[in-house]
Copies of this chain bind each other. A is one copy, B any other.
Amino acid sequence: MTQKKMAIIATKGTLDWAYPPLILSSTAAALGYEVQVFCTFYGLSLLRKDLSGIRISPLANPAMPMPVPMPVLVQVLPGMEAMATMMMKNKMKAKGVASLDELRSLCLEADVKFIACQMTVDLFEFKPEEFIDGIEFGGATTFLDFAGSADIQLYI
């Protein structure tokens, strides 16, 4: 039986949307999949050594469960983004959800391959020395080469 493959494009860099690529990749790798995660646009944040700057915004997402209903006019006040981020992190910790760092380590140990999109690294002036070791750099061709024969492709 040939090894299954999963190709992910990770394009978001907020606390909520940083989780799905890492959860799916670490789980798929544990199930024996070969996994590649192509990080582009804000998804490059997933490759930073220091993940502590990843935040969440309650804005424009009326579906986000909030402990206290909060009008949009309050959500835009200074400090609310930091507060929402802290609340979400505390809740995750209390519920035993692994941190982004822990999930990414699981991925790296399981040989998930992370690829940084060279075009958006240049565009957003990300500094490659801020990235973790062991990643590759590539473009849409790099993604398609793998995705074209993968069993699962997801754009996150």
Which residue numbers of A lie inside 8 Å of B, CB to CB?
4, 6, 9, 11-14, 16, 19-20, 23-24, 27-28, 31, 33, 40-42, 45, 54-57, 59-65, 71-73, 75-78, 80-81, 91-92, 95, 97, 119, 122-126, 139-141, 143-144, 147-156
Contacts and interface: CB of A to CB of B under 8 A. Distances in A.
Contacts of A141: 27, 31
Q: State how many copies of this chain the complex holds.
A: 3
B61 A57 contact: yes
Nearest to A71: B78
Contacts of A73: 76-78
Contacts of A80: 72
A39 B15 CA distance: 18
A125 B65 contact: yes
Nearest first, the 6 A-B pairs at minimum CB distance are A13-B63, A42-B63, A27-B140, A59-B60, A60-B60, A55-B62
Nearest to A145: B31
Contacts of A55: 62-63
Nearest to A11: B20
Contacts of A65: 124-126
Nearest to A119: B97
8 contacts: A57-B60, A57-B72, A59-B59, A60-B60, A62-B81, A73-B76, A91-B123, A148-B152
